Amino acid sequence: MKPVILVVNDDGVYGPGLRPLVRAMKKVGRVTVVVPDQERSADSHCLTLHKPIRVREVSKDFFILNGSPADCARFGILEILKEKMDLVVSGINHGYNLGEDVVYSGTVAAAMEGTLLDIPAIAFSQGGLNVNFTEPSQFASRLARKVLHHGIAEGLCLNVNFPERPVRGARPQVTRLGKRIYGKKITARADPRGQQYYWLTGRNVRGISAPGSDVAAVSKGAVSVTPLHVDITDFPAMQQLKKWDL
């Protein structure tokens, strides 16, 4: 019996990495797609609680909804597939999700929602502007097979990043989260009526290539595979806080 796979993303129905990932997953199992009806990048792990979610089936086993990436995973698991599934894959995102990016990423959040619902999950992201998703999707299918065979520990999902310029022969690396540096400038502009508005984004995000990190791996042209845990408790800090006599 073929594995049942849910494909989600945050780039929306027209995301360039979606269909290559769907084609790759169809070689692994039976695929259902649930994605936002528009781009929802940097939505983080938000759920739509204060307005109705409207869902439309655009083709067989392909659904769009007016919610967040996490909504897509949750709706796909609990309503469409009724939890009878084997794997959630998210992406392929157009742009890295390295280091602190995972805090903001809708791609990672959609995968993490699968983890929260006890389904093994993988998030895939590709750096660069003019990219070809062929090799990343091929790797995605290989990794999906390995996850279905070996499983993932409870509470974990995998965050995979593909380098902008892959180095031939560079083996994928299992990594930790690296350090990303975001601009701190908020750009203010005025519309034609003189009303001020703002852009929160600044220059391109930079990364520090610390040894063993996802940032270092992709900077050397290798695929990074980082296990992420739902439980973000800092256990050593707990011991320090207990000494404070709270």
For residue 83, the domain's CATH number is: 3.40.1210.10
Domain assignment present for residue 197? The answer is no
Residue 195 located in a structural domain? no
Which pLDDT score, from 0 to 100, does residue 199 have?
A: 81
Domain residues for the domain of 16 are 4-179+207-242
User: Omega before 119 cis (within 30°)?
Assistant: no
Domain assignment present for 188: no
For residue 141, is it within any domain?
Answer: yes
Cα-to-chain-centroid distance, residue 144: 15
* Alpha carbon distance 6, 57 (integer Å): 15
In a domain, 23, yes or no: yes
List average pLDDT for each run of 10 residues in the chain, which is 246 residues long: 96 96 97 96 91 95 97 96 92 94 95 97 92 94 97 96 92 95 82 88 73 95 97 93 91
Q: How high is the pLDDT of residue 103?
A: 94
Q: Is residue 154 part of a domain?
A: yes
The values of phi and psi at residue 136, to 5°, are: -55, -40
Residue 202 in domain = no
User: What is the domain count for the chain?
Assistant: 1
Domain assignment of residue 193, yes or no = no
Prediction pTM value: 0.93
